[in-house]
Amino acid sequence: MSPTPPHVVRKIPCTPFIFEDSREAAISYHNISNTTTCKPCFMTISVEEVLYHTGKVVYNIQYKYYKLNGWRHKTDKYSHPFFNPETNSMHDCILDGEIIAKNPVTTGLVDMLLMSFEDMEPLIGTSRPTDYKKQLMQIVSRLYD
């Protein structure tokens, strides 16, 4: 008898987000030129909890980018959540999502990842909510399972 294939035990609805040009926060600190305009990045984050036949549960986190208002990944990279203004390049990761183990730490990460910018603000200190969410996405990319 073959093992039961993984199946979705809970699907969390997509949450939409808009990321603006990330250079704005770094222009004065890193002396980055802002001579080009950059359209905002519209995206959704969706999460599924998936149960494996071993009893392990993972989060399947998916990012979907929308080409609204003419946004393009290559020309409007400065608003992409995985763009690093310090190196003027994209972070080295999978851009469309990750699968990570479900545990107390990752559950907190997923909760914050899906939280609105307004709800995050009182919980995060002095960072801008958009920058904090970008950092959460980058942390998730390092926890792939």
Location of structure tokens 């999502």: 97
Q: What is the pTM of this model?
A: 0.77
C-beta neighbour count of 100 within 10 angstroms: 22
CA dist 140 and 69 (Å) reads 28
* Residue 53 and residue 3 in contact, taking contact as beta carbons nearer than 8 Å: yes
pLDDT tens digits along 89-129: 666 666 788 999 999 999 999 999 999 999 999 999 888 88
CA dist 66 and 58 (Å) reads 26
The winner for highest mean pLDDT among 26-30, 31-35, 38-42, 120-124 is 120-124
Instruction: Kindly list the distances between the CA atom of residue 20 and the CA atoms of 16, 38, 65, 77, 101, in Å, as whole numbers in the listed order.
Output: 14, 8, 13, 10, 30
Amino acid, res. 27: I
Q: In sequence order, what are the residues at sequence separation of 6 or more whose Cβ sits closer than 8 angstroms to the Cβ of residue 100?
A: 58, 59, 61, 106, 109, 140, 143, 144, 145
Would you list the domain boundaries of the chain?
Answer: 7-141
